[in-house]
Amino acid sequence: MIQLVWLIPAIMFLAAAVNGLGVRRLGAMAGHIAWASMALCTLISFAILFEVRSAVAADPGWVAPTIVLWSWFDIPNPFGSNTPFTIDFAFRVDQLTAVFLCFVSFIGTLVFIYATGYMKEKHGGHVHLDPGYARFFCYVSLFAAMMFTLVLGANLVVMFIGWEGVGLCSYLLIGYFFDKPFSKDLSCADAGRKAFVVNRIGDAGLIVGMGLLFWGLGTFDFEGINQALTSGERADGSAIPAGFLLGGGLITAATLAMFLGATGKSAQIPLFVWLPDAMAGPTPVSALIHAATMVTAGVYMVARLNVAYFMAPDTMVVIAIVGAATAFVAAYAGLTQRGIKKALAYSTVSQLGFMFLALGVGSMAAGIFHVFTHAFFKGCLFLCAGAVIHALHHEEDMFKMGGLRRKMPKVHIAYLFATLAIIGFPLTSGFFSKDEILFSAWLAERGGPHPAFPYLTILAVATAILTAFYMGRTLFLTFWGESRVDPHAEEHLHDAPSSMAGPVLVLGVLALVIGFLNVPGAFGGGAHFHKFLAPVVDRGAEHAALLQNADFVVDHAAGQALYGPLVYSGEDPRSAKAYYGQARILAAVSVGLALLAFAFSFVLYGKGIAPLAETLQRRLRPLWEISFRAWAWDDVYNSLFKNGTMRASEGALAADRGIVDGLVNGSGVFCDRMGSLLRRLQNGQVQTYGLVMIIGVTIFLAYFLVGLGSALESDGAPALEPPTAAAASAMDVALTETSGATASETR
């Protein structure tokens, strides 16, 4: 089955093509094609996952096979190295990829089914499909194909195709309602553009990083990169530049540049500003692309290149700090949002920050596990939000909701489950994944040589508390208390249809229980998820440990890959077990504080909006403003970059119109005039044509005569001299009986 893995993206490309070509004719069929294709992909993905599992079980040293579809480039190396510049269009399925395939396709299927219900409206018994119904399913199918390509790619270039492909689909889907306004100064099309432009900045970094890696290591292939970095030699046996050794400047620059790409795609500081506006897209898109899958591509990329990142400890510190800071900043912004999707969007940014914190402190598997659980609970939250918005005819303001749990009990239950998961209620999925991250950060801090580290766990715990508060707030504002719904809309209020409620409930239940896949050692579990991924994502940790201290052993059983600080400090690397006690205390403290915050949100919003909430808002006006306007990040960017750029653009436009257009049009006019002149020569008269030919011949002949003459003058080349006198006299002797013809020939 692994050899047939290309079927997965191929099926989705096909689905996208069918929907795209039949965009005007398919009708409701489009949705069925999309979700059925996705379901088929899910089956294949799970088959592959089990195949990988059994292969690993049979042989712990199993090497993931590379499936070369075709050789894409095979040209001499542009950098002059001996290794040829070969790029295969190749896929590789290892543990990490198999996990991504499964959850992307599974959640994708649920979201597609949900979307078949979401993308139509009922009016007086008639069902109206959204006008762009097939277009929507074309885009999302294409997105799925690209996402699969991203995680399947065996080298950076194929991954980059997927990376850009999902970016394109994201742009198309954010701007799906391109003719509608989104907020007071953005239309949906603008929001799409914003996402696109911001992501370009990040992608520029990614390209620079790719180029640097290739220049230094001579390959784009992930396995080749790992080999080169761990062995210190390129495939052709030459040594890699010193800057690519542990802690070197070049590897740090390359990984930092690629991390810039990740901050764009995964919405981290400084490039997170596009994600809240990405909510302009239809809600299933927000759930699938802007919560569960695409935005985690940055996390995937870092985990995929974990060996390279571990070689650059400074980059890791940056990642950890950026992750923790983003988590806190976004969670704080989430406290006061009015729009339910906006609040969830900031929550997503915040959770992504958690994932990067995990990566930055070296616990790649913890980051991926949080990607995994987050996909379920955040996907569920968005789908619930979508169901509410759908039922309320596109009302997103939570202050105009309330009491919906009576009208929409199924959606409420799912939302409640997912909320419990995201705030880390004990034994839910979020509890396990968030706890692992906190523990990793805590461990990093213990050995932390870096002055920033001690604050990271504090930030992370604070974020967890904020998360509990704002998630409780969304839950209570939307589903609890008294109804603040517009009475006119309330008449039509109904629970979600089964096509929507089904996926929502499935995700909600899974969000509760899926954490048991990876119960860490501190709570008596086996950390199966982590151990499954470890051969892929902990390679960097092991290698870095090896370089620093040969005795160091990564303790997978503990559910933690001990990173950096312990390793780099050269401190005695003990087993993580020694820290189990601390881990338990940490979990108890963070969960306890979070539950307190959750309870506080109930006090404020559980029975309608309590007067205390308004008092607090008035008293803490400045703090409230900072939160509501999301730290004025957009305004800062606008005044720093956008306005300046716009003014510069206007200047450039004026210059362009005046000077460049003048030149361009002028050259066009010039060409046109010349053409007309030439046309006048083409007068249909054979005599004229003959004359031109004669002129041409004359010029040719004159050219050679003059050319030869000047050559004679300049150097008197012997070859150009006529036969010498000596030769001529010799000829007279020899040619006493030559015929006339021969004689003339000799001259």
Partner 1 sequence: MNETIAAYVPAISAYQVAPFAILSGAIVVLLILDALLKPEGRERILAGFTGVVLVATGLFFGFDILGGEGVPYFEGALKADQFGNLGALIICAGAFAYLVLAPQLVRSRRLPAGELYALLLFTVLGLTMLSVANELITAFICIEIVSLSLYVMVGIDRRSRKAGEAAFKYFILGAFASAFLVLGIAFTFGATGTTQLVSQPTPVEAIEPGTPAFNLGVADVLANGERLVPVVLAEGITPGSAAAPANLVMHGDAAYLVEPVNPLWVYLGFALLFVGMCFKLSFAPFHMWAPDVYEGAATITTMYIATASKVGVFAFLVHIIQAMSNWSEFPLLGAPLLGAVAILSMVWGNLAALVQTNIKRLLAYSSIAHGGYMLVGVSTLVTPRVLGDVDATAFVRDSLLFYLFAYTVTNVVAFGIVAHLGSKGEGDMQAYRGLGARKPLLAAAMTVAMISLIGLGIPGTIGFWGKWFIFKEAVSSGLIMIAVTAMVTSGISAYYYLRLVVLMYMRDPSSEAIVEKGEVVLPGFASRAVIGVATACVVIYGVFPGLFLAIGGRLPG
Site residues, partner 1 (CB under 8 A):
668, 671-672, 674-676, 678-679, 681-682, 684, 686, 688-690, 692-693, 695-697, 700-701, 703-705, 707-708, 711, 718-720, 722-723, 727, 730-731, 733-739, 742, 745-746
Tokens standing for residue 98: 């198999």
Cα–Cα distances in angstroms (integers) from residue 82 to residues 237, 251, 262, in the given order: 10, 21, 32
CB of 168 to partner 1, least distance (A): 18
Cβ proximity to partner 1, 553 vs 681, nearer residue: 681
Question: Which C-beta is closer to partner 1: that of 24 or that of 676?
Answer: 676
Find the shortest distance in angstroms from Cβ 672 to partner 1. 6
> How would you label 696-719 residue by residue, b for 16+ Cβ within 10 Å and e otherwise?
eeeeeeeeeeeeeeeeeeeeeeee
Cis previous bond, 722, omega within 30 = no
Shorter beta-carbon distance to partner 1: residue 89 or 106:
89
Task: Give whichever of 69 and 735 is closer to partner 1, judged by the CB atom.
Answer: 735
- DSSP helix/strand/coil, 126: strand
Task: Choose between 50 and 670: whose C-beta lies nearer to partner 1.
Answer: 670
Question: Is residue 437 within 8 Å of residue 354, measured between CB atoms?
Answer: yes
Q: How far apart are the first and last CA of the chain?
A: 83
Output 232 or 690, the one with its CB closest to partner 1.
690
- CB neighbours of 78 closer than 8 A, spacing ≥ 6? 85
Measured from the CB of residue 738, what is the shortest distance to partner 1 in angstroms? 6
- The least distance separating partner 1 from the CB of residue 681, rounded to whole angstroms, comes to 8
Which C-beta is closer to partner 1: that of 641 or that of 700?
A: 700
Least Cβ distance, residue 272 to partner 1 (angstroms): 35
**Angle of helix 409-422 relative to helix 429-446, nearest 10 degrees?**
20
Contacting residues for 640 by C-beta, under 8 A, at least 6 apart: none
Rounded least distance, CB 34 to partner 1, Å: 27
Residue whose CB is less far from partner 1, 179 or 715: 715
β 85-92/66-75 pair status: antiparallel
Which CB atom, from 588 or from 671, has the smaller least distance to partner 1? 671
- H or E segment at 191? helix 188-217
Shortest spacing between CB 14 and partner 1, in angstroms: 19
> Can you count the helices (H) and strands (E) in the chain?
33, 4
Residue 67 backbone dihedrals phi, psi, to 5 degrees: -105, 100
The minimum distance between CB 722 and partner 1, in angstroms, equals: 7
Closest approach, Cβ 659 to partner 1, in A, equals 19
What is the token pair recorded at 84? 């040829």
Q: How far is the CB of 675 from partner 1 (least distance, A)?
A: 4
Would you say 50 or 689 has its CB closer to partner 1? 689
Within 8 A by CB and 6+ apart from 179, the residues are 188, 189
Q: Are 709 and 721 in contact (CB under 8 A)?
A: no
The angle, 0 to 180 degrees and rounded to 10, between the axes of the packed helices 621-628 and 611-619 is 90
